[in-house]
Amino acid sequence: MSSALQKALSVLEFLVENPKGTTVSDMAKSLGMPVSGVHRLLKELESIGYVRQVKDMGEYKLTIKLASLGLSYLGQTGISSVSQPVLDTLAAKCKELVRMAVNDNGQLVWMAVAQGSTSSLKYDPSAEQGRTVHLASTANGQAWLASMSDDEAIEAVIKQGLLKTGEVAKNAPSSIAQLLETLQATRERGYSVTIDTYLDGMAAMACVVRSPDSDQPIGTISIAGPSIRFTEQVMATHFHALSDAAQELGEASRAGLFFYHPH
């Protein structure tokens, strides 16, 4: 890390990943920075309101300021107002979790969610909002990759990593060859299908959202649920509703400043 700005941003990003707080020494070790340097940055960030110290423990954590800025930005871009009604409608139809990811300068990022399940057996993805989608193992990622050529998809996966960090699900693609077979099946089917690939016990389907002007992918939309009930047969019954929602999001994207429209 060469600049003070890069180091400060690394500290903020680390605190985002550790919302309960962390010690200076743990942060310094994880970031490969000297303790004195991390402590100095934390004090500067504290002085302008982005960080606070938990007095009884000596740990540091983010204040609400950074989150408030993000929410304010998203509100002004219009992404919530144009996408949430579409997601809510689809979630009510399928009675499962619906999620949207958008292209942010070449990365696919989780941006919006609607929970349609009333069952106690459901997935809560709140901790993943705003994070980059893992391409090889998620339905959203596979739908996104399938919109590319094989060479482009391989490049994107190698750059990010075939396997996600942390626990790897039992059916996660274990080779590029296996992933390419999956992407070809996705293209032929018209939507992706994942079962126990991102998380054990979770199944999902997804398709891309395309710009109405260029027909280029600008995001993805998915339906997900427990694999014990959200089977491939059930997914097939939701395809038309998912496809219609993707088209509606594409049309609505003209009103959302956050959507990146490639030309």
pLDDT in tens, 226-252: 999 999 999 999 999 999 999 999 988
pLDDT in tens, 78-109: 566 778 899 999 999 999 999 999 998 888 99
- Which residues lie below 8 Å from residue 86, measured CB to CB, with a gap of 6+? 245, 248, 249, 252
Residue 91 lies in a domain: yes
CB-based contact 178:154 (threshold 8 Å): no
Q: Count of alpha carbons within 13 Å of 105, Cβ hemisphere only?
A: 0
pLDDT at 262 over 60: no
Give CA–CA dist 15/10, Å, rounded: 9
71 belongs to a structural domain? no
Instruction: Say yes or no: 59 and 188 in one domain.
Output: no
Structural domain includes residue 262? no
What is the SS3 string spanning 45-78? HHHCCCEEEECCCCEEEECCHHHHHHHHHHHHHC
% of the chain residues with pLDDT over 70 = 91
Domain that residue 50 falls in: 4-63
Residue 261 lies in a domain: no
Return d(Cα 171, Cα 173) in angstroms, integer: 6
Decide which of 63, 87, 113 is a domain's last residue: 63
pLDDT of residue 72: 66
Residue 203 has a pLDDT of 97
Distance in angstroms between the alpha carbons of the first and the last residue of the chain? 34
Are 88 and 9 contained in the same domain? no
> Closest by alpha carbon to 100, among 248, 239, 202?
248
Say which residue the tokens 């019954």 belong to: 237
Amino acid making up residue 58: G
| Most distant pair of Cα atoms in the chain: their distance | 58
Residue carrying the six token digits 């550790």 = 18
Q: Are residues 97 and 189 in the same domain?
A: yes
Is this model's pTM higher than 0.95 or not?
no
> Sorting pLDDT into bands at 50, 70 and 90, what band is 256?
low
Q: pLDDT grade, residue 1 (50/70/90)?
A: very low
Same domain, 54 and 88: no
Closest to 197 measured CA to CA, from 183, 187, 184, 210: 183
Alpha carbon distance 158, 70 (integer Å): 30
Beta strand spans in the chain (E): 51-54, 59-62, 97-104, 107-115, 192-195, 202-210, 217-226
The verdict on 184 and 135 lying in the same domain is yes
Which of 63, 90, 110 is at the close of a domain? Answer: 63
